[in-house]
Amino acid sequence: MSTEQSCYRGFQGGSWQEVMEVRDFILSNVNPYTGDASFLAGPTERTRSLWEKCRILLTEEARRGGVYTIDARQITGITAFKPGYIDRKLEIITGLQTDEPLKRAVNPFGGIRMAVKACRQYGVELDPGIVEVFTKYRTTHNEGVFRAYTDEILRLRHHGIITGLPDAYG
């Protein structure tokens, strides 16, 4: 069996081997599980301990009106925050999106007005430097979409004749 063919080992053949045919691959190779959950193990003490910490944080987040905290000085990105943990010594799978549990990151790339409004809704002001960059120097997705619209499309959108355009970002 060649190296190319060995990657197919264990799969039922089909047209998906010759052309991009996801539907054929799924129909040929997916076997739904119809049993019950009796094979699953219950939570470990470590999992219960982590979940209790999360429950406490989630309760506090609800008490605060739905958002635990917002970092309004940092723009989100894959390297924007240092690693964050719930409890590092208990965690096996790690990877919070920010450096603290339940900290919300600001993503102004969709539209700066929406980011400003979202922060204000929770009593937080977005950093003026971020606002300046995204109003003077950076084109957001929303601005780019509107620049692509003709005057006719803008009028039709304004009157509600055309809806569902990819510009609902504030």
pLDDT in tens, 45-73: 999 999 999 999 999 999 999 999 999 99
Going by the DSSP 8-state scheme, the letter that residue 137 receives in this structure is I
Mean local confidence (pLDDT), 76-103? 94
Exposure of 122 in the CB half-sphere (CA atoms within 13 A): 22
Q: Largest Cα–Cα distance in the chain? A: 64
Q: Is 15 part of a structural domain of the chain?
A: yes
Distance of CA 148 to the CA centre of its chain: 26
The verdict on 138 and 167 lying in the same domain is yes
- Report the candidate in 142, 144, 134 with the shortest Cα–Cα distance to residue 168: 142
The pLDDT tens digits of the residues spanning 115-156 come to 999 999 999 999 999 999 999 999 887 788 888 889 998 898
Handedness of CA 129, 135, 138, 142 (dihedral sign): positive
Mean local confidence (pLDDT), 8-25? 88
The verdict on 125 and 86 lying in the same domain is no
Q: What is the pLDDT of residue 51?
A: 97
Q: What is the pLDDT of residue 4?
A: 60
The verdict on 84 and 114 lying in the same domain is no
Q: Is 169 part of a structural domain of the chain?
A: yes
The domain total for the chain is 3
- Categorize the per-residue pLDDT at 168 as very low, low, confident or very high, splitting at 50, 70 and 90: low
Q: In the chain, which ranges are continuous DSSP H helix? A: 3-6, 22-29, 45-63, 112-121, 128-132, 141-148, 151-158
